[in-house]
Amino acid sequence: MIEIQHINKGFEEKKVLLDVSATMLAGKTNLIIGTSGSGKTVLMKIMVGLMSPDSGSVLYEGRNIFDLDDKELKEIRTQIGMLFQGSALFDSQTVEQNIMFPLDMFTRKTRREKLARANEVLERVNLQGANKKFPAEISGGMKKRVALARAIVLNPKYLFCDEPNSGLDPQTSILIDELIYDLTKEYNITTVINTHDMNTVMERGDHIVYMHQGKKKWEGSNKEIIFSDDEDLNKFIFASDFLRKAKEIMMSEQKAI
């Protein structure tokens, strides 16, 4: 579990985050949603310790990462997996080498042990046999799966995903969503996802934090979001005529029960 407590952040005179508090639950897909400029990317960077807040705390199992010494902070970081928006694979390295990179950085395992672990996670993301391919030789969806395999190779307790569906076709997006969701449940990971993808929100949003103009405007589940009366949230979620009509139907069915 990760607790965000009263986070404030600004750049020069611009306030980006205003007294944001929320909880990211273990074994759940925790989504951070909102329009561009709402502060969700800055919030994620603060949560992983890439950026310091002006004030406030981020607690990993009760420990504020901004109060830890270097040794304690390194321990936390080895428990964090990160899936970047553009996959961030090393073009000059093979799939196998990309996945083994965190093992090279943070463990003293033998090459045989590292290779065995790389093969385990490749199998888990259904890419067995792709070891010697280079990123330029695989599709966008495969790159995402390689990046996800790299993110989980250290058996993280916490998984952060920045727009995991960006640039993918709808069918591949669903496959990536299912894979992240299954891994979260299987290993009881605290998963935090920045996303604009409404399918992700509706299908996989165990716990959702909606950001608006630097503030947390709403927090709840995908089942609760349908019945929210927050005007800004509804404009964001139900932006199209189709989705607005779908909401009206669901609201009518709920009243009839």
Question: What is the mean pLDDT, run by run of 10 residues, along the chain of 257 residues?
Answer: 96 93 95 91 93 95 92 90 90 96 92 95 91 94 93 94 88 90 93 90 91 94 87 83 65 62
> Which residues have C-beta within 8 Å of that of residue 106, sequence separation ≥ 6?
78, 154
pLDDT at 133: 96
pTM attached to this predicted model: 0.88
Order of strands, sheet of 14-24, starting from the edge strand that comes earlier in the sequence: 14-24, 2-11, 55-60, 63-64
Tell me, what's the pLDDT at 160?
A: 96
pLDDT at 247: 64
Residue 249 pLDDT: 65
List, in order, residues 6 or more apart from 94 with CB less than 8 Å away: 131, 132, 133, 134
Structural domains in the chain plus CATH codes? 1-79+190-257 (3.40.50.300)
CA-to-CA dists, residue 154 to 140, 180, 200, 250, angstroms: 23, 15, 25, 42
> According to the model, what pLDDT value does residue 238 have?
79
Residue 145 token pair: 């799966």
Q: Which of 157, 192, 147 is nearest to 43 (CA)?
A: 192
> CA nearest 173: which of 137, 150, 146, 145?
145
Determine the pLDDT at residue 257.
58
